[in-house]
């Protein structure tokens, strides 16, 4: 499989441009990176596929165990939610910023048992 960089280089040589977005993460991990999206791709880029690729890159850049906050939504730089099924080219312009919220991965802790009432050895009768 050719790397993304080599596919973009081949696409540009063939007269096909690369669509680029800046991904900004906020929350547990704060990063900024440019992510090229081959245009036209093999399959159209959806907001969901953009999000999934961005999450893969965040995982490579950090050792933090994380999950997506904000319901996994991708937002534009103005804070508007981008719907997962929408095509990136319909909702984002080349060079725009998209934002992902990263939060700590919740670890499952055993539930604490409620305190027990001490029992008296005697029966109290009135």
DSSP annotation string for 44-79: PPBHHHHHHHHHHHHHHH----EEE-GGG-EEETTS
Q: Is the per-residue pLDDT at 23 higher than 80?
A: yes
Q: Is the per-residue pLDDT at 4 higher than 50?
A: no
The pLDDT tens digits of the residues spanning 80-124 come to 999 999 999 899 999 999 999 999 887 666 566 666 665 666 665
Torsion angle (degrees, nearest 10) of CA 39, 43, 47, 50: -70
The pLDDT tens digits of the residues spanning 34-81 come to 999 876 556 788 999 999 999 999 999 998 889 898 888 999 999 999
In this prediction, residues 21-39 reach a mean pLDDT of 90
Looking at residue 37, its pLDDT comes to 86
Cα 59 to Cα 42: distance, rounded to the nearest angstrom: 24
Residues listed for the chain: 126
The answer to whether 5 touches 80, Cβ cutoff 8 Å, is no
Q: Please tell me which residue, 12 or 112, carries the higher pLDDT value.
A: 112
Looking at residue 47, its pLDDT comes to 95
Please tell me whether the overall predicted TM-score, pTM, comes out greater than 0.85 for this model.
no
Confidence band, pLDDT 50/70/90 cuts, at residue 19: confident
Cα 121 to Cα 54: distance, rounded to the nearest angstrom: 63
Q: How far is CA 26 from the centre of its chain?
A: 10
Looking at residue 7, its pLDDT comes to 45
């Amino acid at each position: 499989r050719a790397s993304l960089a080599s596919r973009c280089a081949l696409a540009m040589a063939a007269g096909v441009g690369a669509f680029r977005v800046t991904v900004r993460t906020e929350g547990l991990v704060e990063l900024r990176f440019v992510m090229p999206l081959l245009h036209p791709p093999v399959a159209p880029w959806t907001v969901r596929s953009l999000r999934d690729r961005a999450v893969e890159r965040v995982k490579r850049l950090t050792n933090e165990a994380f999950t997506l906050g904000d319901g996994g939504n991708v937002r534009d730089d103005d804070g508007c939610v981008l719907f997962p099924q929408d095509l990136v080219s319909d909702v984002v312009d080349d060079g725009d910023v998209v934002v992902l919220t990263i939060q700590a991965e919740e670890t499952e802790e055993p539930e604490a048992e409620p305190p027990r009432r001490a029992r008296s050895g005697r029966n109290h009768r009135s």
